[in-house]
């Protein structure tokens, strides 16, 4: 049968010559290559002191954003929880009281917002689903811990720190 592409290549396997069967020239060649590597530039990044830059589309720990006046953007619509394929997000919504306008941007807000970091697969669907631009996966690597309960991150860990001078 005629081949459809010309990509097929039949390798010719010649019997090895005596010099090749001795392996020694090949070993010497290989050893010279490894020896030259001793003088190459080292690729090591000295981690705790030097940290590599994350890439542009890096997805790390979640952060719940505030707007320019320092108010929480999240309105507890639940779209992030709905979109989450790992079902890692839960929340309890609450109504904004009078006098809390400087804390929450919308009339409804998330009183409790929890992400189980052991379930999260860092797919980024929550940040795509969010209509209020309230959640982004722009944090660092989620650190290790000892207990399962410590991996359920609440608002204390997720919400962006208040901007100085804008909010109390």
> How many residues make contact with other proteins (CB under 8 A)?
13
Is 113 annotated for ligand binding?
Answer: no
27 near other proteins, rule: CB under 8 A? yes
Is 126 annotated for ligand binding?
Answer: yes
Is 120 annotated for ligand binding?
Answer: yes
Residue with tokens 């399962």: 148
Is 151 annotated for ligand binding?
Answer: no
Residue-level length of the chain: 168
Task: Tell me the backbone φ, ψ of residue 112, rounded to 5 degrees.
Answer: -125, 135
Task: Show the DSSP H helices in 38-111 as ranges.
Answer: 79-83
Is 105 annotated for ligand binding?
Answer: no
CA dihedral 45, 49, 53, 58 (to 10 degrees): 100
For residue 120, how far is the Cα from the chain centroid? 10
146 near other proteins, rule: CB under 8 A? no
Contact pick of 2, 5, 35, 57 for other proteins (by CB under 8 A): 35
38 near other proteins, rule: CB under 8 A? yes
52 near other proteins, rule: CB under 8 A? no
Residue with tokens 């790992």: 86
Task: Tell me the backbone φ, ψ of residue 70, rounded to 5 degrees.
Answer: 80, 20
d(CA 116, CA 151): 6
Is 130 annotated for ligand binding?
Answer: yes
Between residues 35 and 146, which has the closer beta carbon with respect to other proteins? 35
47 near other proteins, rule: CB under 8 A? no
Report the candidate in 148, 84, 142, 146 with the shortest Cα–Cα distance to residue 113. 84
Q: Which stretch binds other proteins (CB under 8 A): 9-17, 28-36, 116-124, 132-140?
A: 28-36
Q: What residues form the annotated binding site?
A: 74, 77, 80, 84, 120, 123, 126, 130
Residues placed in the known binding site for [4Fe-4S] cluster:
74, 77, 80, 84, 120, 123, 126, 130
Residues found near other proteins in the complex (CB under 8 A): 27, 30-31, 33-35, 37-38, 40-44
């Amino acid at each position: 049968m005629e081949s459809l592409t010309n990509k097929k290549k039949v390798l010719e396997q010649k019997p090895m010559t005596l010099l090749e069967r001795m392996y020694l020239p090949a070993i010497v060649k290989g050893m010279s290559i490894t020896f030259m590597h001793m003088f190459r530039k080292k690729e090591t990044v000295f981690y705790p002191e030097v940290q590599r830059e994350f890439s542009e589309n890096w997805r790390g720990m979640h952060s719940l954003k505030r707007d320019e006046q320092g108010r929480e953007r999240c309105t507890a619509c639940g779209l992030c929880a709905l979109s989450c394929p790992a079902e890692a997000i839960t929340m309890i919504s609450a109504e904004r009281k009078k006098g809390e306008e400087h804390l929450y941007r919308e009339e409804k807000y998330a009183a409790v917002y929890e992400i189980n970091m052991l379930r999260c697969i860092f797919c980024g669907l929550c940040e795509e689903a969010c209509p209020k631009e309230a959640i982004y996966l722009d944090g660092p690597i989620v650190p290790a811990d000892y207990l399962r309960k410590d991996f359920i991150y609440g608002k204390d860990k997720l919400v962006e720190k208040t901007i100085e001078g804008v909010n109390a």
